[in-house]
Structures are given as structure tokens and as C-alpha cells.
Amino acid sequence: MVNIGPNGRKKRPGAVVLFRSILFLFLLLSSSAILYGTAVNTRAVRDLAETSMESTALALSTSAESALRSGGNRAEGEVRNILSDRVVAYAMVARKDGTIVLHTNPSMVGGNIREAGLGEWLRTGKTFGRRIMLGTGLPAYEFNYLLHRPGGDPEILRLVLHTTRADRILSDARRMWWIVGGVLVLLWAVGIALDRVFARHLRLQAQVERRERLALIGQMTATLSHEIRNALGSIKGYAQWVDERVETADPKKKGLAAVLQGTMRIESLVNDLLLFSREETYSVQPVDVGVLVHESMAGEASGWKGEVELDPGEGTVVSADPEKLRRVLANGIRNAIQSMGDRGHLRISARPDDRRVEIRIEDSGPGIPESEIPRLFTPFHTTKADGTGLGLAYSKKTVEGMNGEIDLANRQETAGAVLTILLPNAR
């Protein structure tokens, strides 16, 4: 959908909204998929790491049990051999009463595991494993297994395994989250950049189309105005010729004056039109704002009775075409005075920053009604009986042609309007 804005600028909200929605949906779906996939993987890795510890412990326990079941003199040595695996931190066999009968650290044999809940566990006899912390501060996995030796009471086989390998897998899985986080940030950054590029592309395209349309309208208007001006020249010349030959008392004199006044009005309108529609060439150079403001004031406000305050700053210089900027200032001053009538307060100021200079023409008139604001810069929009409504349209065209910006708004603190012109700072 293509809408034409109040300033003749094309808007494509439909395309932008559609692109944004699709992009946002894509980003949301892909982010959710990545997050879900990573969460599932992490859980699977964690389960796998725990299961692998449990399986190792179970395998070692059953091997130790079958070695003990086989009995004989070499049984204990064989069990020690099995339990000397690198993953085993320590292992022990204890009687029901907790007396240690076998330990990977021989000095512990004869000691006792005094532990609450041991009797309860022996009654249920269920194998179980849990994570513990060793006295050295290292994490470990404790596995309790009920041993059945032929002809004897059940005994406790406790295996404590190092968890280094499983923990490494888990920390790798945790690191995955950082990588996924980085990928997501990158994905969203690319998405946002794409959105900006697309919006910019649409804006530039709209500008190009608008310029082309305006150029076509300009050509047509220029041709038409030219023809009208030529024809008008003959009418005016003939009316003046007749007027000079008619006596003052002649009643025809009144009619001739009306014809002459009408032709002059059409002439000024056609001149404005020609000025607005012609293809501009800019002779940009450093222009002293103070000098131009004083000249424009002398031309537009010399007989005005209101208060004037000029504050263009010391040596404020802009990059502009002096003739075009003079016309823009003149129209701004004329508009301000026309809005105030005979009396009021007119303030013209200029403030430079590093890049640009802001010129403000402020008046104490009635300001602009809300409904007028969108149409201010539209060609031929005027609220004046004798206005052509081309002043601001021409100003916008030329200020933008000089790489500047222009805006007309109501003043914030007091009544009245302010015309703001931003132009490149020449300093």
C-alpha cells in the first residue's frame, strides 16, 4: 500500500510493518528454537554424565562382588586391584555394624563408618548414589552397594568416584550457553541492522520518487508559467498603452486600472510559480548570518512598528547560497510580521554547534492551529487573501537543497510561532 503524505511524501507503512513483523517473528522463532534445543541438549548431557558415573560405579561394584564371591586367598587382592581404578577416589567394604573390613587406604581398616541412616539403608538394601564433597574440597560421587558374600551377612560396599570427567562435560555444556547467547545477540543485531537498512532504503526510494514527481510537475509548471507570462506581457503592455492615452476623467480609466491590477497580481503569481518550479542550481559559499539577517530585515520590516530583537551571534557563518537563503529569511520575516499585524515581538537568533547553525525566527502572533501544521509546507497552502502559499514550500525545497532542514512550529513557552532553519556550519 502506498499513501501520499501531507507534504506529498510517499509513505509505505504497510511494507515496513509487514517486513518488521516477518523479521520479528523469524527472530523470535529461531531464538526460541535455539534456546529450546540448547536446553534439551544440556539436560541430556547432564543426565548422561550422571548415568555414566552410576554405570561405572555399578560395573566396578559388581566386578568386586563377583571377585569376593569367588572366595579364595586371592579374592581380596583382586578386589583391591579392581578398586584401584583411576576414577576411584577411595573404596571400602564395611560390616552391618559399620566396621571397615577393607579399604583402599589400609590404615583405615578396623575403623567405623558412623553414619545416621545406615541401618535404615541396610534394611531397604537399595543401591544408591549421591554427590558429595571430599574433605579436600573436591566434588565426588558416592555409590553405596549391598554386597552378598556366600554364607555371610550382607556388607556395605562404598565407592567414591572422582567426578572430574563428568564435571568437565557439564562445564562444556554450560559454556554452550555462552556461545548460544553470543549467537542470539549477533542474530538480533543483524536483524535490527537489516530493519534499519530496509527502512532507510524505503525512505530513500520515496525521496527519489518524490523528487522525480516534483521535477515533472516543475517542468510542466515552468512551461505553462512561461507561456502565461508572455501572453500577460502583451496584455499588460497594451493596457498600459491605452491607459496612458485615456484622460483621467474618462470612466474607462477605472476599468483599465482594474485590468492592470489583475495582470500585476497574475504576474506576481506566475513569477512565484516560476521561481518555485525551476530546477535549482546552488552556488554554496560561506554566508555571514548576521549580515543577511540585517539586509532581510531592512527589506521586509523597515516600516514595522513592533519590537525587534536581533541576536545572530558574532561571526556566525553558514554554508549556503546567499540569494536563496535571503528569500527564505525574507518569507519567514514576512510571515511572522503578517501573523502579528502592526505590533508584536519579533526575535531572530542564530546558534552554532560543531556541525550546524540553527537560525530561529520567533514571533508573538497567534501561532499555528493544530489542523494547519501538516499542510504548512504544501505548495499553494495559504490562509492569506493575497498569499500564493509558495513561500514555505520554496523555503523547504531550497533549504533541503543546501543540505539543511526547516520546520515551523508553535513556541513552547509563550504564544506565537517559530521558524527553525538548520544549515551546515561553515566554520
Ligand X SMILES: Nc1ncnc2c1ncn2[C@@H]1O[C@H](COP(=O)(O)OP(=O)(O)OP(=O)(O)O)[C@@H](O)[C@H]1O
Residues that bind ligand X (CB under 6 A): 331, 335-336, 339, 363, 365, 368, 372, 376, 381-384, 387-393, 408, 417
Residue 144 or 331 with smaller CB distance to Mg ion: 331
Burial label for 421, CB within 10 Å (0-12, 13-18, 19+), is buried
CB of 357: closest distance to ligand X in angstroms?
A: 20
CB burial string 217-238: b at 16+ within 10 A, e below: ebeebbeebeebbeebeeebee
Q: How far is the CB of 203 from ligand X (least distance, A)?
A: 24
Judged by CB, which is closer to Mg ion: 331, or 349? 331
Comparing CB distances to ligand X, the nearer of 49 and 393 is 393
Distance separating alpha carbons of residues 104 and 60, to the nearest angstrom: 14
Bridge partners (DSSP) listed for residue 356: 424
| Cα 301 to Cα 164, 269, 322, 341, 395, distances in angstroms | 89, 22, 19, 12, 19
* Contacted by 390, from ligand X, Mg ion, none: CB < 5 to 8 Å by type: ligand X
- Give the residue closest to Mg ion by C-beta: 391
Smaller CB separation from ligand X, 420 or 425:
420
CB under 5 to 8 A by kind: which of ligand X, Mg ion, none does 191 bind?
Answer: none
Report the alpha-carbon distance of residue 167 to residue 173 in Å, rounded.
10
Rounded least distance, CB 352 to Mg ion, Å: 26
Quote the CA–CA distance of 281 and 398 in Å, as a whole number.
10
Shortest Cβ 216–ligand X spacing (Å): 22
Give the nearer residue to Mg ion in terms of CB position, either 313 or 389.
389
Torsion of CA 237, 241, 244, 246, to 10 degrees: -120
289 binds, among ligand X, Mg ion, none (CB under 5 to 8 A by kind): none
Residue nearest to ligand X according to CB distances in the complex = 391
- Residue 38 interacts, among Mg ion, ligand X, none and using kind-specific CB cut-offs from 5 to 8 Å, with none
Q: Check if the beta carbon of residue 410 is closer than 8 Å to that of residue 368.
A: yes
Q: How far is the CB of 344 from ligand X (least distance, A)?
A: 10
Distance between CA atoms of residues 128 and 116, nearest Å: 15
How far is Cα 394 from Cα 206, in angstroms, rounded to an integer?
20
What's the order of all strands across the beta sheet hosting 100-103? Answer: 100-103, 88-94, 155-162, 139-147, 128-133
State the minimum distance, in angstroms, from the CB of residue 193 to ligand X: 39
Partner touching 365 among Mg ion, ligand X, none, CB below 5 to 8 Å by kind? ligand X
Cβ at position 299, least distance to Mg ion in Å:
14
* Nearest distance in Å: CB 264, ligand X: 15
> How many residues does this entry show for the chain?
427
Cα separation, 128 vs 53, in Å, equals: 12
Q: Which does 336 bind (CB under 5 to 8 A by kind): Mg ion, ligand X, none?
A: ligand X
Taking CB within 5 to 8 Å according to partner kind, which of Mg ion, ligand X, none is near residue 146?
none
Strands 356-362 and 417-424: antiparallel
Residue 201: CB minimum distance to ligand X, A:
31
Q: Pick from Mg ion, ligand X, none: which does 147 bind, CB < 5 to 8 A by kind?
A: none
Q: Which residues contact 162 (CB under 8 A, 6 or more apart)?
A: 86, 87, 88, 89, 138, 140
Among residues 229 and 375, whose Cβ is nearest to ligand X?
375
Burial class of residue 123, CB neighbours in 10 A (0-12, 13-18, 19+):
exposed
Which of 80, 327 has the CB closer to ligand X? 327
Residue 376 interaction partner, one of Mg ion, ligand X, none, beta carbon < 5-8 Å per kind: ligand X
Quick one: 159 or 393, whose CB is closer to Mg ion? 393
Helix (H, G, I), strand (E, B) or coil at 306: coil
Minimum Å gap between C-beta 299 and ligand X is 14
> What residue 339 binds from Mg ion, ligand X, none (CB within 5 to 8 A, per partner kind)?
ligand X
Residue ranges in contact with Mg ion by CB under 5 A = 331, 335, 391
Q: Which is nearer to ligand X, 218 or 365 (CB)?
A: 365
Residue number, 225 or 331, with CB nearest to Mg ion: 331
What does the alpha-carbon distance between residue 291 and residue 277 come to, in Å, rounded to a whole number?
28
Q: Return the half-sphere exposure (C-beta side, CA atoms, 13 A cut-off) of residue 103.
A: 15
